[in-house]
């Protein structure tokens, strides 16, 4: 008789661990409170427009491919994607436009010509990011370094022998200010902290690993949009006999004699050999494991930022914008002070604009575009959101009007809004945080919750709010770590 595993939540981490466990010989049940899989990765279809609701950047696609290969299937038969030639187009208030070409030499040439930065500064910066990735990736991303017994493993010793290369004692802004001369370039490299919902003025310079991943490995785009990743992984899980039940919230995790024993659903106790949670770690402790106190390592840590998103159906084309676009604030420090200290928006927020119809014309009616317009938002602590959203919308439209030299509002055919309250309600992310705990501070990574419970055997955690962090690649990495933990605990 097969051992039984239950997974709570069908985010990409939950789907990935379901696939791993099924291939390891487990009978797997997955319960999802929503009527659809994907967690923060979803899509909306409105009046002939299709919008990816959440994550829009696809890096390290090999981690998705690995799941198909694990199931002895050819990933190219199910999920096709292509590498972007231009990763992002950056707009500044003074009219400067920078294309972040995937080809690193072409990108450095662009920076040198438009900003006057010495190319050697950029080559050195990328080299340091590559060295950091080679030293830290195995230990800090693809393995659990949080077992005391693993501190002396080879990959962890590599980190121990080169701690200065982790660059944790300077903020990414401080490091960028030491590395570059041009303020626009410093701001461009500062913004990578926002990829994990953090403040570049306090998040560690370790994050310079992210531009290395973008320009050395690449940024990709699925031919059918971001939600096709979820669709194909869901179908793969079903082919492996994973049983997925939607509209089925888990009410409680059952514990007997310090061991996970199952879950309660609709008042009925269901027995399992192991339990894997893919829900926000704060929500988990506050609602599903209320008998166990929230670890101090996460209970007092600042949450990452949230998001305010406008989904706009535009009635015309804008040739000056690309797939991914960023319109920078002219007061970057003030923007993050507002987000993390005052829990509000600045008067000049940075705007991210994602237009999937640039690559998938069917995502909008002919001659139209689907705009995903996002600004970083503070977490929900009971603010007057109606007032904040109204003011943020005005600031966004003013900025886009000014930089694009177009009257944006007259071309908005319809609008849908997503704010931190809805993110919290729909995804159960604590306070609407996108990435769980922030990475603000030199040792923030060490405070992320482990992928296993230290006291309760058979209880594991995957997803963006636990080690190694948020975003598609890290969620998939967390699932791989959980799979290895299960092997170590039950199969070895």
- Pull the structure tokens for residue 324: 């991914």
Phi, psi of 290 (to 5 degrees): -70, -20
pLDDT digits (tens, 9 = 90+) for 278-302: 999 999 999 999 888 888 777 778 8
Report pLDDT digits (tens) over 425-440.
999 999 999 998 898 8
- For 209-257, write each residue's pLDDT tens digit: 999 999 999 999 999 999 999 999 999 999 999 999 999 999 999 999 9
Please give the torsion angle defined by the CA atoms of residues 390, 393, 398 and 401, in that order, rounded to the nearest 10 degrees.
-140
Surface-to-core class of residue 410, CB atoms within 10 Å of its CB (0-12 exposed, 13-18 middle, 19+ buried): exposed
Q: Which residues contact 3 (CB under 8 A, 6 or more apart)?
A: 25, 26, 27, 273, 274, 490
Instruction: Quote the tokens at residue 308.
Output: 């305010």
The domains of the chain, with CATH numbers, are 4-40+224-298+442-491 (3.50.50.60)
Question: Cβ(208)–Cβ(192) under 8 Å?
Answer: yes
In angstroms, the Cα distances linking 59 to 195, 220, 262, 267 are 12, 6, 35, 41
Question: What is the predicted pLDDT for the residue at 157?
Answer: 58
Mean pLDDT in residue range 9-14? 98
Query: Cis peptide leading into 468, omega within 30 of 0?
Result: yes
Q: In this predicted model, which residue has the larger pLDDT, 491 or 258?
A: 258
Alpha-carbon distances of 33 from 233, 254, 265, 301, rounded to whole Å: 18, 18, 11, 27
Half-sphere exposure of 251 (CA within 13 A, CB side): 7
Q: Tens of pLDDT along 131-168?
A: 988 887 777 788 776 655 555 566 565 655 556 667 88
**Residue range 390-438, pLDDT digits in tens:** 999 999 999 999 999 999 999 999 999 999 999 999 999 999 999 988 9
The Cα 297–Cα 286 span in angstroms is 15
Tell me the average pLDDT of the chain. 93
Complete DSSP assignment for 234-281: HHHHHHTT-EEESS----EEEEETTEEEEEEETTEEEE-SEEEE-S-H
Res 450: pLDDT: 92
How far is the C-alpha of 19 from the C-alpha of 242, rounded, in Å?
A: 8
Rounded Cα distance between 230 and 214, Å, is 22
């Amino acid at each position: 008789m097969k051992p039984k595993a239950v997974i709570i939540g069908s985010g990409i981490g939950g789907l990935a661990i379901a696939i791993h466990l099924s291939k390891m010989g487990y009978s797997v049940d997955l319960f999802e409170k929503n009527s659809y899989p994907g967690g923060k990765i979803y899509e909306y279809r409105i009046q002939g427009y299709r919008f990816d609701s959440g994550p829009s950047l696809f890096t390290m696609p090999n981690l998705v491919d690995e799941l198909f290969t694990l199931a002895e299937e050819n990933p190219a038969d199910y999920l096709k994607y292509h590498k972007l030639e231009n990763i992002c187009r950056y707009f500044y208030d003074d009219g400067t436009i920078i294309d972040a070409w995937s080809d690193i030499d072409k990108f450095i040439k662009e920076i040198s010509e438009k900003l006057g930065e010495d190319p050697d500064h950029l080559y050195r910066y990328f080299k340091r990011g590559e060295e950091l990735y080679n030293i830290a990736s195995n230990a800090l991303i693809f393995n659990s370094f949080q077992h005391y017994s693993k501190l002396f493993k080879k990959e962890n010793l590599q980190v121990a022998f080169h701690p200065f290369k982790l660059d944790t004692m300077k903020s990414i802004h401080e490091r960028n200010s030491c590395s570059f001369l041009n303020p626009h370039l410093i701001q461009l490299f500062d913004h990578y902290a926002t990829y994990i919902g953090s403040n570049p003025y306090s998040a560690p310079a370790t994050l310079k690993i992210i531009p290395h991943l973008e320009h050395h490995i690449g940024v990709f785009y699925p031919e059918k949009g971001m939600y096709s990743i979820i669709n194909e992984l869901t179908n793969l899980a079903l082919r492996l006999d994973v049983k997925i039940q939607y509209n089925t919230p888990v009410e409680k995790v059952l514990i007997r004699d310090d061991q996970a024993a199952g879950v309660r659903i609709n008042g009925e106790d269901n027995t399992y050999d192991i339990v894997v949670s893919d829900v926000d770690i704060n929500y988990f402790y506050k609602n599903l494991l209320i008998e166990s106190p929230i670890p101090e390592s996460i209970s007092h840590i600042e949450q990452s930022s949230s998001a305010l998103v406008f989904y706009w159906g535009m009635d015309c084309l804008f040739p000056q914008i690309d797939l991914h676009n960023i319109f920078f604030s002219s007061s970057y420090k003030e923007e993050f002070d507002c987000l993390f200290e005052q829990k509000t928006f600045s008067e000049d927020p940075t705007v991210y604009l994602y237009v999937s119809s640039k690559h998938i014309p069917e995502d909008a009616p002919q001659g139209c575009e689907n705009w995903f317009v996002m600004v970083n938002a503070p977490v929900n602590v009971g603010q007057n959101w109606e007032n904040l959203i109204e003011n943020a919308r005005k600031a966004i439209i003013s900025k886009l009007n000014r930089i694009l030299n177009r009257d944006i509002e007259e071309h908005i055919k319809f609008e849908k809004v997503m704010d931190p309250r809805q993110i919290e309600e729909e995804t159960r992310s604590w306070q609407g945080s996108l990435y769980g705990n922030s990475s603000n501070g030199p040792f923030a990574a060490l405070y992320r919750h482990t992928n296993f419970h230290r006291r309760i055997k058979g209880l594991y955690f995957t997803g963006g709010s636990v080690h190694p962090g948020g975003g598609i690649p890290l969620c998939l990495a967390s699932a791989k770590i959980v799979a290895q933990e299960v092997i170590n605990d039950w199969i070895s």
